[in-house]
Amino acid sequence: MELGINDRIAARVRDLRGRHGLSLEALAEASGVSRSMISLIERGESSPTAVVLEKLATGLGVSLATLFEAPAAPPHPVSRRADQIEWRDPASGYVRRNVSPGGFPSPIQIVEVIFPAGERVAYETAARPGVTHQQIWVLEGVIQVMLGDEDFELRPGDCLAMVLDRPITYRNPTQRPARYCVVIVGPRPA
C-alpha cells in the first residue's frame, strides 16, 4: 500500500528519530521545532511547511530530500517517473519531486522544483552536521537565491554551486513559475 505524502513524511521522521535515538524533546531542541509540532507531524496530522521540514532535517542530520523517501525503500538503481512522489509546500505552493532512487546507497540526491511566481521561502538553518554541497540548475524562469549575504539571480541554463553552511532564501521575482533542478551531495542516513 502506497503511503500518502504526509504519512510518508511522518514515517520517515519517526524512523530517523528512532535511528538517532532521539526523544521528541531532544529533536525539538536540536531542530528548533516544538515537541507538539513534531508529534503532530509524526502522526501524519500536520501538513508541515518546507521551513519546518528543513529544520527537522537539520536536527536529524539529513537533507530535506531525505524526509520524502520511503522509510524502508528497497535499494534499486532506477527511479521511475510514476513512482516519484511530489510534495506541495502549504505556505508557498512550491512543488518538489524527489527524482533520485529512494533507498539506493548514493550520496547524491536530485530534486526537481516548480516555484510559483512571486513566492519566497527562507531557510534560516545554517550549520548542518557534516558538509552538504548543493547545486541549483535553472531549467525555466528566474530564481533569486540569497546565500548568507550573497545574492544570485539565476536564469535558464545557469547553475549555482554552494555549501549549505548559511541561511538560504529562494525567491521568484517574476510573474511566471520557475523550474529548477537541485543536486545535493551530503550525509545520508544508513
Give me the mean pLDDT over the 134-163 stretch.
97
Q: What pLDDT sits at residue 65?
A: 86
pLDDT tier for residue 53 given thresholds of 50, 70 and 90:
very high
Q: How confident is the model at residue 66 (pLDDT cuts 50, 70, 90)?
A: confident
b/e map 140-173, b = 16+ CB within 10 Å: ebbbbbbbeeeeeebeeeeebebebebebebbbe
How high is the mean pLDDT of the chain?
A: 90
Kindly list the distances between the CA atom of residue 104 and the CA atoms of 73, 76, 117, 172, in Å, as whole numbers in the listed order. Answer: 8, 6, 34, 32
pLDDT band at 151 (very low <50, low <70, confident <90, very high): very high
- Assess whether pLDDT exceeds 60 at residue 189: no
> pLDDT class for 70, splitting at 50, 70, 90?
confident
Going by pLDDT thresholds of 50, 70 and 90, the confidence category of residue 187 is low
For the segment 90-142, what is each residue's pLDDT rounded down to a tens digit?
A: 999 999 999 999 878 888 999 999 999 999 999 987 666 678 899 999 999 99
Q: What per-residue confidence (pLDDT) applies to 1?
A: 44
Q: What is the pLDDT of residue 2?
A: 54
The cell 550525509 sits on which residue? 187
pLDDT in tens, 54-63: 999 989 988 8
